[in-house]
Chain A
Amino acid sequence: MSVLTSLAQLEAAAAGIAQPLATVRHCHLADHPLVMVPLKLAGEAAAPLAVMIGSDPAAPALLAVPQPRNRDLRFAFAAELAQVVLKHIETHHGAVEDLPPAKDGTERIRYTDAPQLLVPNRGGVGFLRMLGRSTRFRRTDGPYAVEPSVPVLGRWLTWYTDRHDHPGSALLMTMTEALRLHWATGQSSLEDGNLAALLGWIAPPGGMDGPAAAARAEDPVLSPPAGPVTDPGFDNEVLAPAIAAFDASGRDPRAEERVRRVLEGQLAPTWELMWRAVEVLRALPEGASVPARWERDRDSFTYFHQTFGEAYPQARRDSPVRAAKRLHDMERAQDAYDAQRAFDDPLVMAEHRLNGLAFGGTVTECDPTRLDESGKRPKLRPHLRVGTEDPVRLDPGTEVCSAARPGLKGRVVSVDGASVLLELTGGLGRKLTPEPGSVPGVGARVVFTSLIPGSFGPSRFPDKENTPWTHGGPPADYEPTDEDAAEDWS
């Protein structure tokens, strides 16, 4: 949050409609994402109640558990869900594309696409995480055998939810977070957690303004919650009697149909909202670095898909080395993501300008052929003076680059109240005169920033076998046990 975002919120509150926080779309949006709207039973850690799922807005599938406390019905649900999810995964990764071999000569491939999952909110991700955790250790033989697809689903869900923690990843996205990245509403972040209210501010239904649409969204009868937690009123008045009738009827199909129907009524409005939100996001032009981030996602997907058969289910807890590496990867991804968004989007760059880490203005003086002759050989070091009203907080000597062309690098020479003197150091060509067009001329509008994309290099971590004693020494290899497979799910 910053004053800039706060200002957008104030404008939204005054105007009665959401205001943009971004001018481009900062997330990848698949042509056919798999939308999932899960519901769980209140009070339970991960008792699935229902999910509405599909990649065609007009043809959602409804999977439901007529008695969520029944273990067999839960596993039947997990098997059904596995069928849909695994089929989507296998049909949406595109072809295999050969890449130039790695430095050590190993072959590299990448799928041309990757399956994208969309859920309404963070709670949905948490639920999928729990569902993954409660199914990935199951065995397909022995006393507590489950359908072969169930542990496979568990491992995929675990992988997707882990990937969701990765900044900038679009493999599993929540709609509320995706929308909030692009719009500010006239309500608080707490209220923005309600998908219907949030979308109500961004794209209110005909004849309404943001506040009216949001008020309507807060009525659980008109607008059922987007899950995974259901409305208590619905639980007590509608769902509980339906489930009781199912129990009393001795699992009569008509009673089951009744449970499904009431759950469908809770899910259908959110299903509509999800696809409307997809449309709203699609209307934004894609940011320039979105394809590059999606390529990382495809790499990650390719690796997991290719090694799936050889690997064990993910351990309950990360080993110390793996945890440290994962944290480091996430920090790097966050750094790159923040920088990339700023370069893609002047509105995000404006945040950095407000903080004094970037500045924009008009070139007032330009010496494109200035040479630095203090060393043995002369170097091309053009001077550029940029007039700016921004509150610049950059010390002399700070490295900066151009927001429009990050290859154009320079160094701050001096900052006075209304202008910054820069010495350009890179992106000018190899000769002692700059390449035509590389130095902005007098009158040109420029933005320079101290953000340098990709400045956060990878670190080296020890192998698992060399885990230092400070971190408990090398951990025992994880092997799933019978106990894991037979774990209660009650």
Chain B
Amino acid sequence: MTDTAPALDLDRLRGATPPRNHDARTIAALTANPGCARRGVMDAAGVDKDAVSRTLGFPAPFGQSQFAITRGNVFEAQVKADGCAELLTLLRDRLGLAVPEVSYDDLEVVAGNEGRELRHARTRRLLRRALDSGEGTLYDHPLLRLEIAGQVAYLEPDVIAFQIEGRFHIVEIKSFAVIDGQAEPSQVAAAARQAAVYVLALRRLVAELGHPAERVSHEVILVCPENFSNRPTVTPVDVRPQLAVLERQLARLTRVDRIVAELPEDLSFDLAGALDEAVRAVEARYAPECMSSCEMAFFCRDEARACGATGALGRSVRDDLGGVDSIGTALALADGTLEPAADLAETAAQLRTAARLRAEALQSAGQGTAPDGAGLGSVA
């Protein structure tokens, strides 16, 4: 691992606050926007982005309703009750797995100590034994490690590693309903992305322990409530596509140490310092999709809007404009007041045609095109 010089820099970046652990959600989200240096640096340094965004006056709206939390907890407790009795019944009956005798190890707390190094060591030890002997069935709350952009991140998966016939499966318990065999696609996709992170981390661990990575299956087992009831149902999900994306994105992630090397030496995200300036010193790449996954999204959106970035209107708009980053430039190209550089000639020509066609159509329909004449301001 590369716990060398950059790690020290990263600790300094974080300031006085303790580091935050990555979870699969943050890693899965990281791959959604791999080009964002701001996010990369802050995540690598374990900066509490939630606190930062609140201090900056752009709190992230990621609150969770207690109704949803309660429902999730009740369901999980039900599935895991009595050494995962209900889960085992499902695995036997629905998936036809010949689960023989069963052992259940909870790795959440080690002798009253929740230190992550200790917990990871215990996970390693137990998994090594399981891999060597083929014994051991259910391991709850394993603590895994994954190297991200040159930094080691600890993962606290809320999952169970399940071994059968010498292969490990990730079991993920989710409280969204599967209705007539179908669930909300976005939720399944998010669950699959997260599970892929765990599969990858577990595979790395298995490889470190000297076993073939394939001993961790690419098929994860999703446990969800069935229809409108509280009864669990299991669905095997193949996460190979998500794994491929994840591995490619992690390999491509801009090396954080390279970004850090170019930052001012006294830069710090300490909440008590000149936070606004510090955050702006690292370049962001905002897209509206950030809103669903990154705590900094509102700050970055404000910044992107203030400088008239086309990306704030959505990726498709930025793509349509073929490399024109600023709204003002795009409009100037459209109305012909700006002569395009050679590489933008094609985009500019298309924008001009679009502007002409729009004006013509609006005129033929008897509407003006004056900017302030649009909308329906008078209705209100």
Q: Footprint of B on A, CB under 8 Å?
A: 1-15, 17-20, 23-24, 41-46, 130, 133-134, 183, 186-191, 201-206, 210-211, 220, 230-233, 235-236, 240, 276, 279-280, 283, 316-317, 345-347, 349-350, 353-354, 360, 389-391, 487-490
The winner among B314, B327, B357 for most chain A CB atoms within 10 A is: B357
CA gap between A416 and B175 in the complex, in Å: 62
From B65-73, B120-128, B144-152, B263-271, give the one contacting chain A: B65-73
CB neighbours (8 Å) of B112 from chain A are none
Which of A130, A201, A205, A350 is within 8 Å of B360, CB to CB?
A350
Contacts of B250 on A, CB cut-off 8 Å? Answer: none
Closest B residue to A186 using CB positions: B313
Q: Which of B230, B313, B330, B365 contacts A488 (CB 8 A)?
A: B230
- Contact, CB under 8 Å: A7 / B354: yes
Closest CB-CB distance, A364 to chain B, in whole Å? 17
Contact B65 A236 (CB under 8 A): yes
**Inside 8 A of B356's CB, which chain A residues have their CB?**
389
Q: Residues of B contacting A191 with CB < 8 Å? A: 288
Cβ contact of B357, chosen from A6, A188, A353, cutoff 8 A: A353
What is the CA–CA distance of A41 and B354 in the complex, to the nearest angstrom? 45
In angstroms, Cα B126 to Cα A41, docked, is: 41
Assess the B320–A203 pair: CB atoms within 8 A. no
> Residues of B contacting A1 with CB < 8 Å?
316-317, 320
Residue on A nearest B328 in the bound complex, by CB: A14
**What CA separation (Å) do A391 and B65 show in the bound complex?**
53
Q: Which residue of A lies closest to B229 (CB)?
A: A488
Q: How many chain B residues touch the partner (CB < 8 A)?
A: 64
Centre residue among B64, B317, B371 by max chain A CB count within 10 A:
B317
Chain B residue nearest to A489 (CB atoms) is B228
The interface residues of chain B, by DSSP majority, are classed as: helix
Are A4 and B313 in contact, CB atoms less than 8 angstroms apart?
A: no
Inter-subunit contact A45/B225 (CB<8 Å): yes
Measured CB to CB, the nearest residue on chain B to A129 is B179
B322 CB, nearest partner CB in chain A, Å? 9
Instruction: Select the residue from B176, B177, B358, B367 with max chain A CB neighbours within 10 A.
Output: B358
Q: Are B316's CB and A6's CB within 8 A?
A: yes
- Whether the pair B291, A13 counts as a contact (CB closer than 8 A) is no
Residue B355 interfacial (CB < 8 Å): yes
> Could you say which of B291, B328, B362, B379 contacts A347, with CB atoms under 8 Å apart?
B362
**B376 contacts A10, C-beta separation under 8 Å:** no
Question: Are B354 and A236 closer than 8 Å at their CB atoms?
Answer: no
A13 touches B313 (CB 8 A): yes
Question: Given A1-B320, A232-B68, A488-B230, list of 7 further CB < 8 A pairs?
Answer: A1-B316, A6-B313, A20-B374, A45-B179, A188-B312, A236-B65, A346-B361
Contacts of B310 in A (CB 8 A): 10
Report Cα–Cα, A143/B68, bound state, in Å: 30
The CA-CA distance from A414 to B64 in the complex, in Å, is 63
Give Cα distance in the complex from A233 to B320, angstroms.
Answer: 38
Residues of A within 8 A of B225 (CB): 45
Bound-state Cα–Cα, A243 to B377, Å: 41
Contact indicator A17/B177 (Cβ below 8 Å) = no
Closest chain-B Cβ to A150's Cβ sits at a distance in Å of 14
Q: Are A23 and B313 in contact (CB under 8 A)?
A: no
Given A240-B66, A350-B358, A10:B313 Cβ within 8 A: yes
Contact check, B180 vs A235: say whether CB atoms are below 8 A apart: no
Q: Do B229 and A3 touch (CB < 8 A)?
A: no
B residues 193-236 near A (Cβ < 8 Å) are 225, 227-231
Interface pair B380/A23, CB less than 8 Å apart: no
Interface pair B354/A4, CB less than 8 Å apart: yes
